[in-house]
Structure 1
Amino acid sequence: MRKVLKNGYGVLAIVALSMAVVLAIVFLVALIVGGGAGTTLSEFGGTLAEWSIYIAALAMVPGLIYVYVTREHSLTSRKKEPAVES
């Protein structure tokens, strides 16, 4: 279950990040093109931004479940036991 949660979070986070990169490119092209075409691209960028936010929020679900299942996160203050060498 932990692996599924971790992979699910990873995939959704990568998709959201990729959409953000595409969004930045769309807005940059819209700024360069300008006029009616730029407006159309900006409107498409707004729609893309909404979807990116939804996917990023959805990515938080498996991430939070993973934190509760494993009972540790990146800010855990417990010391980890050193690995035993064999």
Structure 2
Amino acid sequence: VLAAGGVDEMLDRVLLAHGMAEALTTLTTDHRAVLEHLYFRDRSVAETAARLGIPEGTVKSRAYYALRALRVACEERGLVP
């Protein structure tokens, strides 16, 4: 049985996860793919570039702009201050 604080914490995590999933849908397919490889699959820039068939510089650029766009999407949803 979860204590009241545990339920509140779990609900907060579920809402954050839902908000992040929604925010990720606002990104372009290319930006989302780079973030998926770098952060969700824990791949290096070199591994991501090889898997996606793009130069390492493109991976870095897409990651930079994807994170900027994701931050804006999260701010719009009240997920970050």
TM over 0.5: no
TM-score by length of 2: 0.41
Q: Give the number of the structure whose alpha-carbon radius of gyration is greater.
A: 1
Which protein has greater RCO, CA pairs closer than 8 Å, 6+ apart?
A: 1
